[in-house]
Amino acid sequence: MTKVRSLSYNIDTNIARTEEGYARETHPAWRANARAPEVVEALDAVLVAKRPDVVNIQECRQFETKFGDAVDSLTPLLDQFKLRGYEALVNNYNEAGGDKAFKFITAYDPQKLTLEGSYMRYFTRTPSQPTVRPDTSGMSPEEAKAVADQIKDHNFGSEWERGVQVTKFKHRDEDEPFYSINVHLDLPEQHRLWERLSLHWHPNSTGKRPMTRYRKLHIPSIHTRSLRHCSLNAVRQ
C-alpha cells in the first residue's frame, strides 16, 4: 500500500480579537496580513522538504473589515501552492458567514493524485445542508433569542455550523481511492467527542475502524482536551 504524505495547518485568521478588536492597535503583528510572510515561509519549508501529497489548511479568510481595510490570508497561500506545482480547492466553512466566513484549502500534488470529487458535510442535525437562518430583523428580542437558541441546538452548541471538507483522490500507484477530510470543529463537548471518535477511526493514528463502544457513552461523561484543528487525511474507502 502506497503511503500518502499529508500536512494540516491552522493559520488562525481572527476577526473579533485581532482584525476588528482590542489587538488591532495594540498588537498589529498579530494581524493576518502582517503574519502572512511568515505563514507562507513556514508552509513553503514543508512543501520543499517533505513534498506532502495533500495539504489541508484551516481558518483562511478574505474580506474587508468594518474599518475598510482588506484582510487576505487566502491568496498568499494559493499563490505559493501554485508556485510549487500544487492544485488547490477552496470551500467556505458555511454559507451564511458571507465574506467573513472561514475557508478551507485542500491542496494536492497533481503529479501523484487525481481529484475525483469534493463536498462539504456539516456537524449539525442536517449534515448535507447548511443551517437555515431565518431573518430576525423584524423580531422582538425574545423571538430573536429563541431563533438563536434553535440554531445552536441544531448545530450541537455552535452559533455557526462547522463541518468537514471531504475530498476524494486516487493515487497514481493505487487502484483504490482515498478520502482527505479537512476538519476544524468547535469547542462544545459534542464537537470534541466527534473529533475523538474521528481520531480513533483514522488508520494512521490507531489502525482501527470506529470503536462502537464510544457510541453508547453519555456525552457529558467524555472529558477530552479539545483537538480543535485535527485534519484526517488518507482515510481509505
Q: What is the CATH number of the domain that holds 147?
A: 3.60.10
pLDDT band of residue 197 (cuts 50, 70, 90) is: low
Pairwise CA distance, residues 80 & 37, whole Å: 11
Asked if the structure places residue 1 within a domain, the reply is no
**The predicted structure's pLDDT at residue 142:** 96
pLDDT band of residue 230 (cuts 50, 70, 90) is: very low
Asked if the structure places residue 97 within a domain, the reply is yes
**The predicted structure's pLDDT at residue 203:** 38
**Residues sharing a CB contact under 8 Å with residue 121, sequence separation 6 or more, in sequence order:** 127, 128, 163, 164, 166
Pairwise CA distance, residues 53 & 199, whole Å: 20
Of 154, 216, 160, which is closest to residue 184 (Cα–Cα)?
A: 160
Mean of all residue pLDDT scores within the chain: 81
* Domain that residue 203 falls in: 6-236
Q: What is the mean pLDDT of residues 192-218?
A: 41
Asked if the structure places residue 16 within a domain, the reply is yes
Pairwise CA distance, residues 111 & 158, whole Å: 39
Asked if the structure places residue 28 within a domain, the reply is yes
Pairwise CA distance, residues 110 & 19, whole Å: 35
Highest-scoring range by mean pLDDT, 112-116, 120-124, 134-138, 204-208: 112-116
Asked if the structure places residue 156 within a domain, the reply is yes
> Is 103 strand, coil or helix?
strand
Q: What pTM value is reported for the model?
A: 0.79
Asked if the structure places residue 172 within a domain, the reply is yes
Q: How many folded domains does the chain comprise?
A: 1
Asked if the structure places residue 38 within a domain, the reply is yes
**The predicted structure's pLDDT at residue 46:** 95
The pLDDT tens digits for 100-110 are: 889 999 999 99
Asked if the structure places residue 15 within a domain, the reply is yes
Phi/psi of residue 34, nearest 5 degrees: -70, -35
Angle, CA of 185, 21 and 137, to the nearest 5°: 75
Phi/psi of residue 225, nearest 5 degrees: -70, 135
